[in-house]
A = this chain, B = another copy of it.
């Protein structure tokens, strides 16, 4: 039985990498950020300042910096770590090289995790001696607040490895879901994209504005789906007869209705319309303001639902 990771390398310091670094530090881990950007330490410090207060139980941002090492050399960054979370750009060749180097540099039992939102573990692992070590742990942005991590493994991944990855994320307060197999975009981004397509259609067709669309979602399906998922919602919409009743009475209408959904072009007109309307609403406020408000509201919901009651205190 391998102990829970205590030292984690975060490869690349973009938005997602910084989010993971914030979470790992806030939950008590030692973190090595691997980045060649000369301002990497300042970037992490700024991310901690902005985001660490959104992680329950986190120490003050300054204190978290004590457990941070910034290391521009990949091999040195991975020396002796228990896990690596990779966040490089979505470039297959680049990531294939990176994972081959990660396998050589990290200990033989270190977790090799990728935040990729599009690539499969099989594709990422082609240059490794043990390709099945590569596991996708795709977070939903921002990783320090939103619980979901989609976990995708290669077919040959040993169950014990999957269990270690799930335990690692769960110990950080995340909700890991192990997918049965990988489709492009995995699950959450595909679902999101399907709704977004219709959202763009409704704005293009003049049914609603960008602002109204957001209000409609937060006041109905967003609220609903924060509490119960789409299938359980249908089950309750079916009344005491449940999903069975719903499918038998309304299921036949689904396919023809789906055929009538929008297929909007993402052309110049669409882009300009969305931006013009966005500029009249949230586009006026600062990124920092909006981010803080989003995180505050998301945490308020998680607290209200009590879904974090099993989260252990930070490790140290």
Footprint of B on A, CB under 8 Å? 15, 140-141, 146-148, 150, 175, 177, 179-188, 190-199, 202, 205-210, 212-237, 239-240, 242-244, 247, 251-252, 254-255, 257-258, 260-263, 265-266, 271, 274-275, 278, 281-283, 287, 290-291, 293-294, 297-298, 300-305
Are B193 and A257 in contact, with the CB atoms below 8 A? yes
Question: A197-B258, A247-B271 are known contacts. Are A225 and B222 too (CB-CB below 8 A)?
Answer: yes
Are A271 and B251 in contact, with the CB atoms below 8 A? yes
Are B302 and A223 in contact, with the CB atoms below 8 A? yes
Integer count of this chain's copies in the complex? 2
Are A231 and B213 in contact, with the CB atoms below 8 A? yes
Question: A193-B258, A271-B251, A294-B227 are known contacts. Are A188 and B301 too (CB-CB below 8 A)?
Answer: no
Are A275 and B300 in contact, with the CB atoms below 8 A? no
Q: Which residues of B contact A251 (CB under 8 A)?
A: 266, 271
Most B Cβ at <10 Å: residue of A217, A271, A293: A217
In the docked arrangement, what's the CA distance between A120 and B209, Å?
A: 20
Are B230 and A301 in contact, with the CB atoms below 8 A? no
Q: Which residues of B contact A303 (CB under 8 A)?
A: 304
Give the residue of B186, B215, B231 whose beta carbon is less than 8 angstroms from that of A177.
B215
Q: Apart from A186-B207, A228-B282, A243-B274, list 7 A-B contacts with CB within 8 A.
A: A180-B209, A191-B198, A196-B230, A216-B229, A218-B229, A231-B282, A232-B294
Question: A94: shortest Cβ distance to chain B, in Å?
Answer: 17
Q: Which residues of B contact A237 (CB under 8 A)?
A: 141
Question: A47: shortest Cβ distance to chain B, in Å?
Answer: 12
Closest to A290 in B: B236
Are A183 and B207 in contact, with the CB atoms below 8 A? yes
Question: A222-B224, A226-B223 are known contacts. Are A191 and B216 too (CB-CB below 8 A)?
Answer: yes
Question: A199-B191, A199-B230, A221-B191 are known contacts. Are A207 and B179 too (CB-CB below 8 A)?
Answer: yes
Q: Which residues of B contact A293 (CB under 8 A)?
A: 228
Are B258 and A298 in contact, with the CB atoms below 8 A? no
Could you pull out 20 A-B pairs where Cβ atoms are within 8 angstroms? Answer: A140-B224, A141-B237, A184-B260, A185-B257, A187-B202, A187-B212, A188-B221, A191-B198, A191-B199, A192-B230, A193-B261, A194-B197, A199-B231, A222-B222, A228-B282, A243-B283, A244-B275, A247-B271, A247-B274, A297-B305
